[in-house]
A = this chain, B = another copy of it.
Amino acid sequence: MEKPMSVEARLNIVTLGVADLDVSRRFYVEGLGWRASSASQDKIVFIQLGGIVLALHPREMLAEDATVPADGSGFRGITLAHNVRDKADVAPILAHAEKAGGRIVKAAHDVYWGGHSGYFADPDGFLWEVAWNPYAAMNDKGELVLAE
């Protein structure tokens, strides 16, 4: 009998396909202050974000690797979130991202369900939500821990 299979619940890398790797590196590394791993290479930048890896890679190369056409426009249908422990941290992080070369898409504001958040776009338009959620438990490592 075939062993019933389930895929381990794991997301290891999020790779952003970027127009200009130098611009993106400057934004994330010099701008936000995140550290590029020494595993980074000429055409790919790796950044350890806790238990996950953020990779920056030229958009055309990423499409080629996935064997899909590189054409695409408009809303990507995906957002990334950076959660914070204090409500007061949301606005300064958005401002910092703007100073680093990002764009504030939605200013920090109270959300109807009790949270506080805003969005910035990175140099390629990838959307990051900066969010404070008083109902989400965050562990010592800054990871959100959901109820089972």
Contact = CB atoms under 8 A, between A and B. Distances in A.
Nearest to A6: B33
Copy number in the complex reads: 2
B47 A9 contact: yes
Contact of A39 (B8, B33, B146): B146
A143 B52 contact: yes
Main secondary structure of the interface of A (DSSP, over half): mixed
Contacts of A114: none
A92 B81 CA distance: 31
A145 to B, nearest CB: 7
A32 interface: yes
Size category of the binding interface on chain A: 35 or more
8 contacts: A5-B96, A11-B54, A13-B81, A15-B81, A51-B52, A62-B77, A66-B106, A72-B73
Given A17-B77, A83-B13, A51 B48 contact: no
A96 B146 contact: no
B68 A71 contact: no
Contacts of A62: 77, 79
Quick one: which of A71, A83, A96 has the most chain B CB within 10 A? A83
Contacts of A38: 146-148
Contact of A35 (B9, B16, B54, B77): B9
Interface in A68-112: 68-84, 92-93, 96-97, 105-106
